[in-house]
Amino acid sequence: MNIQLKEKGILFTDLYEHFEILLRKLPGCEEMKGERARKRLYPDGYLLEEDEEKVKEWRDLVHTDLEQRFQEAQDVVARDIAAMRTNGEGKTELFIPFKHVDAWLNCLNQARISIAAEYNLDEDDLNTIDPSWMDLHRRSAILRVHVYGHMQEALLMSIGEA
């Protein structure tokens, strides 16, 4: 895979087949609907539930707003993915306009956080060098968290934040 900075955005070329499959699964990925993931995506603002009314107010107002923001980011990413094309050499290309980078960072983070929450992945799991002892689903989850993370890094570098 190659990454090129263009005038109005970032062009990812020669996408690996597996990477393309993971990208297509990104917006609204299954894990985002899971109970553990939703608890992490929509946390409470008050750690100590000393003010029940405040906690309820937070859940009613802030969570609704967050849900809308997350959906908007997913929609932007879904449109960019739908516009992916195959070049003359049969390789897939993805173009991300600079104005869409924030939506991508957000969507990638939604997915990474949801996958980690649903599979209960901790720092040791994510840093493990040899995950061969784990079952296939768990290994696949770790791989996805890392692949989406590499893409986040590439996007952060492209906007001078890494």
Contact letters (x/-) for other proteins, 74-93, by CB under 8 A?
--------------------
Nearest residue (CB) to other proteins, 24 versus 150 = 150
The alpha carbon dihedral of 139, 140, 145, 149 has a sign of: positive
| Residues 95 and 9: beta-carbon distance below 8 Å | yes
Q: Shortest approach of other proteins to residue 20 CB, angstroms?
A: 22
| Residue 140 makes contact with other proteins by CB under 8 A | no
| Residue 153 makes contact with other proteins by CB under 8 A | yes
**CA proximity to 151, closest of 22, 8, 17:** 22
In the list 28, 93, 109, 158, the residue contacting other proteins (rule: CB under 8 A) is 109
Query: Could you tell me the end-to-end alpha-carbon distance of the chain, in angstroms, rounded to an integer?
Result: 19
| Residues 107 and 69: beta-carbon distance below 8 Å | no
| Residues 152 and 105: beta-carbon distance below 8 Å | yes
Q: Shortest approach of other proteins to residue 34 CB, angstroms?
A: 15
| Residues 107 and 27: beta-carbon distance below 8 Å | yes
Nearest residue (CB) to other proteins, 8 versus 69 = 69
Q: Shortest approach of other proteins to residue 93 CB, angstroms?
A: 25
C-alpha to C-alpha distance for 27 and 76, rounded to whole angstroms: 9
> In this chain, which stretch among 5-13, 25-33, 121-129, 135-143 interacts with other proteins, using CB under 8 A?
121-129
Sheet with 85-86: strands ordered across: 2-5, 9-13, 92-97, 85-86
How many residues make contact with other proteins (CB under 8 A)? 32
Which positions touch other proteins (CB under 8 A)?
40-48, 62, 65-66, 69, 105-106, 109-110, 112-113, 116, 121-123, 125-126, 145, 149, 152-153, 156, 161-162
